[in-house]
Amino acid sequence: MLKGSIVAIITPFKDDNLDVDNYVKLIDYHLKNGTNGVVPGGTTGESPTLSHSEHKKIIEIAVKECAGKIPVIAGTGSNSTDEAVELSKFAEKAGSDALLVVTPYYNKPTQEGLYHHYKKINDNVGVPIVIYNIPSRSVIDMSVETMARLYELKNIVGVKDATGDLNRVDQQLKSMGKEFIQLTGNDDNALEFNKRGGVGSISVTANIAAKLCSQFQASCLNNFKDSDKFDQNLQPLHSAMFIESNPSPVKYAASLLGMCNPDVRLPLVQIKNETKQKVLEALKVAKLL
């Protein structure tokens, strides 16, 4: 089952090109520090500004480097259903263990449109699909009723819930049951999310605090022993990672830790000096610097 601390891994750049060497090192860092899964090509991986060939390459590298040690949940969503199907089929063929498919942005489909979008992807692959529900970026919000309807399909197994509404955890648990995998997309609510029935997080903070995030999630799965302590230590980091648009803050934090350059692609830009100071302070509070 997909659970625990799953990283929405950043895509490092060098001179505006994919930095393969540091990408491989980042994956190795997660393998050594207890991360329970890797998501290449998600929002944090700057999928909107990756070329199709770059997107496919980071999926291939993740599969190769993880080598079955931890699952690779490839980000394969698009606001074009045919494009999402093509990328999903590629990710399955490349060896991805599961797919993370975001709700189609900009088009603003109805709930019926959402259903048929996911159904077409479901019908064209044979690996588990996690719905990525993030109204703040996609404008639309998948209803619990639509999600329950999709859960009847063979490959739909769960949700990355980035609504920020903890009541949705209860509603989804009641509607779909305990076997439906609920992962939070909001690092800051992970503790309460898990207490209500979630089983982990697809995390931004894990990019720079892999061990702390994996220890926190492990504590949640162990009857929440020491979870409050870990959560208090991580909260300043969670906050700092979203002062400006993700992934600009986490890439700057990664650069301070010597992981990669802070470079992001336009229309994203590097963070302001005052934000840099807050990121630095949060890393010190977490004893990462």
Evaluate the CA torsion angle 171, 174, 175, 177 in order and state its sign: positive
Domain boundaries, the chain: 4-222
For the annotated catalytic residues, the residue numbers are: 132, 160
Percentage of the chain surpassing pLDDT 90? 100
Under CATH, which number does the domain 4-222 receive?
3.20.20.70
> What pLDDT, on a 0 to 100 scale, did the predictor assign at position 216?
98
Whether residue 158 has pLDDT greater than 80:
yes
Q: Where are the beta strands (DSSP E) in 108-258?
A: 129-133, 156-161, 181-184, 200-203
Tens digits of residue pLDDT in 133-155: 999 999 999 999 999 999 999 99
**Does the pLDDT value for residue 196 go beyond 90?**
yes
pLDDT score, position 208 = 98
- Overall average pLDDT of the 41-63 stretch: 98
Read off the pLDDT of each residue in 13-31 and give the average, rounded to a whole number. 98
What value does the mean pLDDT of the chain take? Answer: 97
38-55 per-residue burial string, b: 16 or more CB within 10 A, e: under 16? bbbbbbbbbbeebeeebb
pLDDT for residue 7? 99
In this predicted structure, the answer to whether residue 119 has a pLDDT above a threshold of 90 is yes
pLDDT > 90? residue 62 = yes
Does the structure show a pLDDT above 90 at 98? yes
What does the pLDDT read at residue 64?
Answer: 98
Note if the pTM is more than 0.95: yes
Taking residues 94-122, report their average pLDDT. Answer: 98
The answer, yes or no, to whether residue 168 has pLDDT greater than 80, is: yes
Query: Does 1 score more than 90 pLDDT?
Result: no
Mean per-residue pLDDT, 203-212: 98
- The answer on pLDDT for 84 being more than 90 is yes
